Amino acid sequence: MTELAAPTQTALTRLVADRQSTGRVPGVVGAVARAGSLVWSHGAGSADLDTPGVPPTADSQFLIASQSKTLTAVAILALRDEGKLSLDDPLETHVPESKHGGVTLRQMLSHASGMQREPVGDVWDLMKFPDREELVAGWNDADRIGKPHHRFHYSNLVYSLLGEVVARLDGKPWYDAIKARILDPLEMRRTTVGMDGGPAATGYYVPPFSDVPVREPLLDIKAMAACGGLASTAEDLAKWAMFIANPVSEVLSKDTLDEMCQVQIMADTARWQLAFGLGFMLFRRGDNLFVGHDGGMPGHITSTFVHRESGTAGICLQSATSAPAPSLLATDLITNC
């Protein structure tokens, strides 16, 4: 690891420590990547409250949740470049059982389809998640609540279906497909569906009027994994961030990654600070534009953002459902180094 200057390290360490204490988060990892590798990381708090004072590290797994969408999107664009699909294909071209005519892959990638947010049923209330067959069947009962490209509407449902497209075109389950296409080439060995049994941060819910954290259950979200099922580490996310900064052609061409980072729809129409490309959040703070994604799952709130102009990335991993906005810490780490 190439070290940053001592005053810079001190400033970054203070940012992470302040987030852990003022945010009431059991454990936080902050990390910075630059010039192709992880250059700094710091863990604050405790990886598990049963062993207080032992902080999480850059090798501790956290659930990265919706950051998984960025890998699904890269797989879709790679399939496009291979001539196996067009972004303007309707979903039924690749999932013939679909009865929602005119929902295109491009609309789905940019959350511009107008489809409802979650799969049919009270999946999060009941913690009962669909398998692949149930996901597709439920899609046909889902509501299109807005006109396509009319306004931004975030949807875990559509990204779960994009995972089904990847699985069908690659002829293997979604995770096996992204492992072959992305994780193995980038040597992201601890990015898995759910925790892999190695070092990890335990997830908690910290009630607003109590100092007694409650351990959150680990969930198997089944066919929704493509929208939010991955766990990863700061070490692995640094590799992913450096790919976003400077893609390797074995995974995806630079031209295609640049295409993914172009605005498709504004999410923040009041201040124009947040837009979506093809799978990526585009987050503007001042004069800086950051590319990446947040992730939220019971027990873990995370973020990875990249300032592509300088090739610098910030990573924020937090072990609390109620943790503050991770994108703010991730981007603060970039602008302070």
Query: What's the confidence (pLDDT) of residue 121?
Result: 84
**Model pLDDT for residues 177-230, shown as the tens digit of each residue:** 999 999 999 999 999 999 999 999 999 999 988 889 999 999 999 999 999 999
Distance CA 229, CA 231 (A): 7
Q: Show pLDDT as tens, one digit a residue, over the chain (337 residues).
A: 567 999 999 999 999 999 999 999 999 999 999 999 999 999 999 999 999 999 999 999 999 999 999 999 999 999 999 999 999 999 999 999 998 888 999 999 999 999 999 898 888 888 889 999 999 999 999 989 888 889 999 999 999 999 999 999 999 999 999 999 999 999 999 999 999 999 999 999 999 888 899 999 999 999 999 999 999 999 999 999 999 999 999 999 999 999 999 999 999 888 899 999 999 999 999 999 999 999 999 999 999 999 999 999 999 999 999 999 999 999 999 999 9
| Closest residue by Cα to residue 39 from 288, 245, 249, 260 | 245
- Using DSSP bridges, classify how beta strands 288-297 and 281-285 pair: parallel, antiparallel or unpaired: antiparallel
Using the 8-state DSSP alphabet, how is residue 73 labeled? H
Using the 8-state DSSP alphabet, how is residue 93 labeled? G
Distance CA 192, CA 118 (A): 22
**Six-digit token pair at 13?**
């360490």
Query: What's the confidence (pLDDT) of residue 97?
Result: 93
Query: What's the confidence (pLDDT) of residue 118?
Result: 87
Q: In sequence order, which residues have a C-beta less than 8 Å from that of residue 212 and are 6 or more positions away?
A: none
Query: What's the confidence (pLDDT) of residue 292?
Result: 99
Q: pLDDT > 90: what percent of the chain? A: 88
Q: DSSP secondary structure string, 213-276?
A: -EEPPP---GGGHHHH-EEE-HHHHHHHHHHHHS--TTT--HHHHHHHTS--EES-TTT--EEE
Residue 216 CB neighbours (<10 A): 18
- What angle, 0 to 180 degrees and rounded to 10, lies between the N-to-C axes of helices 156-170 and 68-81? 40
User: Amino acid letter at 130?
Assistant: P
Query: What's the confidence (pLDDT) of residue 324?
Result: 95
**Model pLDDT for residues 304-327, shown as the tens digit of each residue:** 999 999 999 999 999 999 999 999
Distance of CA 148 to the CA centre of its chain: 23
| Closest residue by Cα to residue 98 from 146, 131, 141, 154 | 141
